[in-house]
Amino acid sequence: MKEHSDTVPTHLGLILDGNRRWAKENHKTVAQGHRQGYQNLKTIAKAAINHGVQYVSAYVFSTENWNRDRQEVEDLMKLLKWVLKHEAKEIHKDNIRIRVIGSKTKIGASLLTAIHDAETLTEHNTRGTLLLCLDYGGQQEIVDATKQMIEKGIKTDEITIDMIQDHLYAPDVPAVDLIIRTSGEQRLSNFMMWRSAYSELLFSQKYWPDYGEDDLSKDLEQYKELQRRFGK
């Protein structure tokens, strides 16, 4: 007999799609669209944790996003640095931990410092964890894990699924139970390629800035009704 999930997801993944289209339709700049997107992320992440979700992973900047317009990339980096420098204290007061995962090879020194400071400030918080996927690509994550194992001299016949998991970014973070993507697109776009093996997928037609707490509540209720088989 197929069993329904009777609880909230432990790990929720969010693909924050539609900031630019929201900005265009609302006669805003792209930078304003991204700022509105962040404000909504703060709201939705807190709401998810209030529902009992332990980990919220947000796809804020992919490895492919470096190919966007230079000004847009610069504005996004400034926004992320501002968030980590000024919003971390508020998130800290809510007992939420901030972690940033990704390659980070192209990240500037000042943003790396802001990441370190925010992670250090919140590292002992226990109410929930917000993972910002920055300079992140699911394929690159697996490549980086493989490189680590090679550097350690691990032989190919010794490699196991658990060993690869142990070399991912933030290896203690569990698989993603539910991924929600906004704006009507129905693909993962290189998000959590390893951890999404058995993720449930829900897609919203709304642009990310318009996706509200009521939408989240409905999606979490729908998740409870999904039949999770795990290959059985």
**Catalytic site residues?**
17, 65
- Is the four-CA dihedral 122, 106, 55, 152 of positive or negative sign? negative
Close Cβ partners of 106 (under 8 Å, ≥ 6 residues apart): 66, 135
| DSSP single-letter state for residue 188 | -
Q: Give the Cα separation of 19 and 24 in Å (integer).
A: 9
Residue the block writes with tokens 């959590």:
192
Element counts in the chain: helices (H) and strands (E)? 8, 6
Token pair belonging to 135: 């300079």
The separation between the first and the last C-alpha atoms of the chain, rounded to the nearest angstrom, is 10
In what side-by-side order are the strands of the sheet with 128-136? Answer: 96-101, 128-136, 55-62, 11-15, 178-181, 200-203
Q: Which residues pair with 96 in a beta bridge?
A: 128
